[in-house]
A and B are shown apart, each in its own frame.
Chain A
Amino acid sequence: MGNNGDENRKREMNLWEKLYFPEILHGMGITLRAFFRPKFTRQYPEERWVPPPVFRGRPVLVVEDETGVERCVACGLCARVCPSLAIQVQAAETELDKERYPELFEINMLRCIFCGFCEEVCPEEAIIMSKDYELNFSDPKDAIYGKDRLLTPASHLSDRLAFLKQYR
């Protein structure tokens, strides 16, 4: 037979193994044990996975709970750092203390690669990665998330915000 590589690997089988049937029964024992082992299947639509805080899901904009105003000051760093050019920001002026706010904030989720650079670069901790991993669209236009779908109250993101605190 083949001469490729280590000849020593070819071990002589003893009589018990050559009889073949005991080894078949041995193998069948293994599969029978597997038969009764607990299964790991998650019944997806009914049982959903809740990711840990490290998980980088869909990026969202944080809204303060008390004021109902988004943290974003429309500096445009996230749009600048985004390696896949998924983020588009248009700034406008506001009477509030922060003086600037994003008039338009769009993330194209077909371009987003979930790298988390936007979250890392953001000086206001205004754009962070959520736990949402269930993204599906029937039209490329649906994939462009505007402010209506990006704004998320901070209370819903407490896990991730607490996680990010450790690295500040």
Chain B
Amino acid sequence: MIALIALIKVIVLVLVILGTVAYLVLLERKVSAYMQDRIGPNRVGPKGLFQPFADILKLVLKEMIVPENANGFIHALAPVISITVALAALAVIPFGNYIVVGGQKISLMIAHVNIGVLYILAMSSLGVYGITLSGWASNNKYSLLGGLRSSAQMISYELSLGLSIIGVLMIDRTLQLDKIVQSQGAWLWNIVFQPIGFLVFVTAAFAETNRLPFDLPEAEPELVGGYHTEYSGMRWGLFFLSEYTNMIVSSALIVTLYFGGWSLPYVNYAAMMPNLAALLQVVTFLAKTGIVIFVFMWVRWTLPRFRYDQLMNVGWKIMLPLAILNLLGTGAVMLALK
């Protein structure tokens, strides 16, 4: 029974996420268009709403070309690693508290893991493999450069990512994401106590998702697309999917850790009917995540790309010390208040 419920949750979540990703692509194209005084795709269906289907159809029908001297197996494996890892990270995101079906409480997160935060960090670290292996297996200098950059970048930023989370963990005293949401309450979100940690975390999250201003592994002008230069058809599509899924995961994580997850000021969920409360929680969570996703896109179409040395400087000389200082400061304040 538990396994069945978990399976249903997984299937629903994966379908919803993949559908959302398709529409995020449309949203990104629209956002970029509006920021560049254009209108964006508006031909397929009303206001261009069916554009994602056209895009997906095109991707599925396209030929998947494998370069002659590429390592075929790893070349095929890399995008699968990317998308698997990206989707797996969603397992511990609490979309709401719980729903009641037939007198049974069903939690609105897939896996109740004691170490949810660590699990997400682990999964996002694994994401490097997809990119690095694809760069290496393509047997193309640009892809290899993209893969190398990606590994360097993601390893450097993982440190500040992890360190900035520790501040939150110290305040909430748990690694479970749903407990973190509950301990934040309606008002006192962690961003109030951890503004510096928040900035470090968001910056590192941008780097982890390989999006501008940190999209060095792709870097179209210099690396012709970087790690996915030699990918076409649905294999390329999988990389695309995983990029947007990563964006969803990062946004959901930012919301969970710093913006109180599904909690809403002035709303007392405990006084409501459980299922109504759950619906409101999911809507709240998705709305908050949507806003953060919009900020991701907004930043992408605003900022230029970092140079490689600048990236390393920011990562090691600014972000890491800042994260450690934040950690020390949090500790000192907590000790003083004790």
| A residues whose Cβ falls under 8 Å from a Cβ of B | 21, 24, 27-28, 30-32, 34-35, 37, 39-41, 43
Whether B34 pairs with A39 at a CB distance below 8 angstroms is yes
Q: With both chains docked as a complex, state the minimum distance between the C-beta of A30 and any C-beta of chain B, in angstroms.
A: 7
Number of A-B contacts (CB under 8 A): 32
Secondary structure of the A contact surface, majority rule: helix
Whether B302 pairs with A28 at a CB distance below 8 angstroms is yes
Secondary structure of the B contact surface, majority rule: loop
CA gap between A40 and B36 in the complex, in Å? 10
CA gap between A24 and B74 in the complex, in Å? 39
Whether A37 pairs with B37 at a CB distance below 8 angstroms is yes
> Can you give 19 A-B contacts (C-beta < 8 A)?
A21-B199, A24-B299, A27-B302, A28-B298, A28-B299, A28-B302, A30-B302, A31-B35, A31-B298, A31-B301, A31-B302, A32-B35, A34-B34, A34-B37, A35-B34, A40-B37, A41-B38, A41-B39, A43-B42
Contacts of A40 in B (CB 8 A): 37
Whether A34 pairs with B36 at a CB distance below 8 angstroms is yes
What band does the interface of chain B fall in when counting residues whose beta carbon is under 8 Å from A? Answer: 10 to 19
CA gap between A31 and B301 in the complex, in Å? 8
Q: Which residue of B lies closest to A33 (CB)?
A: B35
Query: In the complex, which residues 69-127 of chain B have their Cβ closer than 8 Å to any Cβ of chain A?
Result: none
Contacts of A41 in B (CB 8 A): 38-39
Task: Please indicate which of the listed interface residues A24, A31, A35, A40 has the most CB atoms of chain B within 10 Å of its own CB.
Answer: A31
Q: With both chains docked as a complex, state the minimum distance between the C-beta of B170 and any C-beta of chain A, in angstroms.
A: 24
Q: Which residue of A lies closest to B298 (CB)?
A: A28
Q: With both chains docked as a complex, state the minimum distance between the C-beta of B286 and any C-beta of chain A, in angstroms.
A: 22
CA gap between A43 and B303 in the complex, in Å? 29
The 7 closest A-B pairs by CB, nearest first: A31-B302, A41-B39, A31-B35, A27-B302, A35-B34, A28-B302, A34-B35
Contacts of A32 in B (CB 8 A): 35, 298
Q: With both chains docked as a complex, state the minimum distance between the C-beta of A24 and any C-beta of chain B, in angstroms.
A: 7
CA gap between A35 and B302 in the complex, in Å? 11
CA gap between A41 and B41 in the complex, in Å? 12
CA gap between A24 and B295 in the complex, in Å? 12
Whether A24 pairs with B35 at a CB distance below 8 angstroms is no
Binary A-proximity of B3-44 (CB < 8 A = 1, otherwise 0): 000000000000000000000000000010011111100100
Contacts of B35 in A (CB 8 A): 31-32, 34-35
Whether B299 pairs with A39 at a CB distance below 8 angstroms is no
Q: Which residue of B lies closest to A29 (CB)?
A: B302
Contacts of B302 in A (CB 8 A): 24, 27-28, 30-31
Whether B39 pairs with A39 at a CB distance below 8 angstroms is yes
Contacts of A35 in B (CB 8 A): 31, 34-35
